[in-house]
Amino acid sequence: MNQPNQTVLTEFILMGITDRPELQAAIFGLFLSIYVISVVGNLGMIILTKVDSRLQTPMYFFLRHLALTDLGYSTTVGPKMLVNFIANQNTIPYNWCTTQLAFFILFIISELFILSAMAYDRYVAICHPLLYMVVMSQKVCWVLVAVPYVYSAFLSLITTIKIFMSSFCDHNVIRHFYCDNLPLLTLLCSSTRDIELIILIFSAFNLVSSLLIVLVSYILILMAILSMNSAQGRHKAFSTCGSHMTVVVVLYATLFFMYVQPKSSHSFDTDKIASVFYTLIIPMLNPMIYSLRNKEVKGALRRIWKNLKCANIDILQRYCRFGSSPPQ
């Protein structure tokens, strides 16, 4: 059989989210608002958990890294997607596509295992409160985030190198709004069996193993909560886990919808809808969930707002005194 012509590509064309011109302006405005809220929310969470002295606990250490991964993969995809709404041709250079795929894989896999580390943190805090600060030491916390970052970087390099070291055909149109591995595989002339096997095995391992850690942690937490005699203690334990469980359910439901649906109903259109949700919507929702449902975060925000108001009043008073003093 004749093989399709192989060529050296310098750029790809992204099909984007919609090909209907009348919807471009409205979707651009909506997604720009979502992305700005996401950046402000996650940057604010990173800064807040870093500067506030009352948020220097393992729980907020992991929350800071969750916000970092949210900011990372939404920024990997969001700006280029927004530019393509107003560009005449939705092209992305070959090297940019490689970089986008590598960083997206890095951040999305890191987020899964950071959520697992957060579940384990809640398990230790509720089931072994007297040993919490011993078990969840600063060294252990750094290991629990460093290992996912290193593992994700390794997997990201393997996947990206395997795809971009393969031979592309002369067709360079990606049926997506960013460079994702599955749409890129359809452009390869060489066999994709090995790459598909790598993606399938590691995707299954990442989803199942991280979710298993979360489920086991919360089963043990639930058993510990139900054995508590105090209703106030049970309510406090549930409230500390509520935000994390909300984030876990939303993210995993989206990923399982995308990767576990039957092959007969699988399409790139449904992939794009799911991808919009976990690349833009979820990074916007996570800071809101943790700030609205967390009294300590809301208290830190109130303290910062109060300090800013006091600082502004102090500056204004100094200015007034200086302005009212007679010239020398």
Judging by DSSP bridges, how do beta strands 173-174 and 11-14 pair with one another? parallel
Beta-carbon count within 10 A of 66 CB: 28
Per-residue confidence band for 228, with pLDDT thresholds at 50, 70 and 90: confident
Question: Which tokens go with 265?
Answer: 């109903």
| Separation CA 168–CA 189 (nearest Å) | 5
**Rounded (10°) CA dihedral 171, 176, 180, 186:** -40
In a domain, 173, yes or no: yes
In a domain, 273, yes or no: yes
Query: Which one is predicted more confidently, 305 or 245?
Result: 245
At 232 the pLDDT is: 73
Report yes or no: 64 and 46 within 8 Å, Cβ to Cβ.
yes
Q: What is the pTM of this model?
A: 0.85
Provide the residue range defining the domain that includes 187: 11-291
* pLDDT of 37 above 60: yes
CB-hemisphere CA count at 13 Å for 76?
A: 26
* pLDDT of 115 above 90: yes
Report yes or no: 4 and 189 within 8 Å, Cβ to Cβ.
yes
In a domain, 303, yes or no: no
* pLDDT of 327 above 50: no
Degrees, nearest 5: CA angle 207-213-217: 145
Judging by DSSP bridges, how do beta strands 91-93 and 11-14 pair with one another? antiparallel
Return the bridge partners of 213, or none. none
| Separation CA 127–CA 120 (nearest Å) | 10
Over range 187-213, report the average pLDDT.
Answer: 89
For tokens 């790459």, name the residue. 195
Question: Which tokens go with 198?
Answer: 């790598």
Query: Which whole-number Å values give the CA distances from 11 to 16, 98, 171, 282, in the listed order?
Result: 15, 10, 11, 29
Closest CA to 162 of 132, 136, 201, 135: 201
CATH code for the domain of 259? 1.20.1070.10
> 60-71: per-residue pLDDT in tens?
899 999 999 999
For residue 170, the 8-state DSSP code is S
At 319 the pLDDT is: 65
| Separation CA 213–CA 40 (nearest Å) | 30
In a domain, 90, yes or no: yes
In a domain, 114, yes or no: yes
In the chain, the number of structural domains is 1
Q: What percent of the chain has pLDDT over 90?
A: 36
At 292 the pLDDT is: 65
Return the bridge partners of 11, or none. 93
